[in-house]
Structure 1
Amino acid sequence: MSTAPSAVDLLLEDGSGRRPRADARRNVERLVRAAREVAAEGGGEITAHEIARRAGVGVGTFYRRVSTLELLLEAVLAEVLGEIIVRADEGLAHPDPWEGFSAFASSYIRLRNELCDLNHALGGTLDHARAELRDRMSMLVGRAQDAGLMRADITWEDVAFLLVSVSTGGHTVGLRAGELQWDRNLRVILDGLRTPEPAPLPGSPPTAAVLTG
């Protein structure tokens, strides 16, 4: 089973083998959490000033602890990708191929937004790591199909695009997303991949948005 790398450890590693001061580690932990928050929200520019603000530290502390924005984002990108791979390995180890695939899909749709925003901010550096993720997705889909638990007329590439379609925005055609909207979307996708009985939808349906201005 693979282990996700820690962005904090990657940033604090200086080759000396010495333990960093507790306050230094706390500041780096705050910066990593803040960077992930910004990336998870998506749609905006990831800046050192915004990360520092959310972390509750000054910009000077930001650069003293992580040197550059790129180094911070590279470490966080490695951490998020590692978490996705761990979730995939857990899915492959699950005794039920369908439950393993479903659990991975639920984790993936949330982590993917962070991954894509970080990758975009770094100019597409994820290219070299895509093979590892593709292999895991292919194995998860193949395992479920071999067990007769997923329709056989689709490919893992189809599944990759279907999972991307789950993570919609918060509004569309005057509607506001319902509670657990992504979970509802995912349940419909999963039921389309599986036969014969659909599962109950989680959360509530979308509602009309209150328009202002």
Structure 2
Amino acid sequence: MEQPHSTVDRLLVDESGRRPRADARRNVERLVEAARIAVAEVGVGVSAHEIARRAGVGVGTFYRRIPSREALLEAVLEEMLDEITALAEQALEDPDPWNGLCVFAAAYVRLRTESCGVSEALGGVCGDILAQRLEDLRAQIRRLVERAQAGGAMRTDIAWQDVPFLFAAAATSGHTLGMQAGGQQWERNLHVILDGLRSPQPGMLPRTPLT
């Protein structure tokens, strides 16, 4: 049988090996879309009941069509991380290394800000199930950073390992010290961070780079 390519195909349960009915596929499509939205709004702790409610199906349908809540969340998060990695690959094709890094950074920080679940996954709360995706993303970020440094656009005293932490810091919460952030506070944060990375006369950094 042909190997599944989409998240929906991966999740469809049909032990007979026959092509799933159209209504079964539609239910799984609804569950996948509901899971993506719920993961963004609630995080990786979202329940099967909540996903089923958002999809407009019963929890019985959920478990008839999906192997498990964990399998659904893993598939959805893998798909989302693959999308981030694909953005990094596109950025590496930009003839301007600095512009490529900045475009990727904006997409990456936006997603961290808008998706609670992606932020949690990037922070490691999912354990080893996403280890390969995280490794792939680290490799792409390293290439983006080293390419910008080699092109003379980025200060070279920055270790590539610093950059994911800086991008994570840009994805701020909405409140601090009794103040409420503006609608795009993360963009302001990222702009300051990128200016610092590009500074032609940087100050001395404390401590040693992360290893």
TM-score w.r.t. the length of structure 2 is 0.79
- The answer to whether structure 1 residue 148 and structure 2 residue 152 are counterparts is yes
User: In the alignment, what sits opposite 1:158?
Assistant: 162
User: In the alignment, what sits opposite 2:33?
Assistant: 33
Aligned mate of 1:117, from 120, 123, 147: 120
Kept in 2, the 8 Å contact 1:80–1:111? The answer is no
1:1-213 to 2 correspondences below 5 Å: 6-12=6-12, 19-42=19-42, 45-112=45-112, 113-118=116-121, 122-195=126-199
Cα shift at 1:124? 4.1
Name the aligned partner's letter for residue 97 of structure 1: P
Cα distance in 2, alignment partners of residues 12 and 68 from structure 1? 11
3-state DSSP class of the match of 1:45? coil
Name the aligned partner's letter for residue 98 of structure 1: W
Cα shift at 1:177? 1.7
Q: Which of 64-73 and 8-17 deviates more? A: 8-17
Name the aligned partner's letter for residue 183 of structure 2: E
Q: What is the percentage of aligned positions where both structures have the same residue?
A: 57
Name the aligned partner's letter for residue 143 of structure 1: R
Cα distance in 2, alignment partners of residues 81 and 93 from structure 1? 19
Residues 15-46 of structure 1: CA distance to partner in whole angstroms, max 9, x if unpaired? 98754333222222221222222222356721
Q: Which of 152-161 and 12-21 deviates more? A: 12-21
Cα shift at 1:14? 5.7
Cα distance in 2, alignment partners of residues 177 and 9 from structure 1? 41
Kept in 1, the 8 Å contact 2:43–2:117? The answer is no
Name the aligned partner's letter for residue 30 of structure 1: R
TM-score w.r.t. the length of structure 1 is 0.79
Please list every run of 5 or more consecutive structure 2 residues that lacks an aligned counterpart in the other structure. 201-211
Residues 34-62 of structure 1: CA distance to partner in whole angstroms, max 9, x if unpaired? 22222223567211011111222211111
Name the aligned partner's letter for residue 150 of structure 1: M
Name the aligned partner's letter for residue 50 of structure 1: E
3-state DSSP class of the match of 1:156? coil
Cα distance in 1, alignment partners of residues 184 and 162 from structure 2? 24
Cα shift at 1:90? 0.4
Residue correspondences, number: 192
Cα shift at 1:127? 2.5
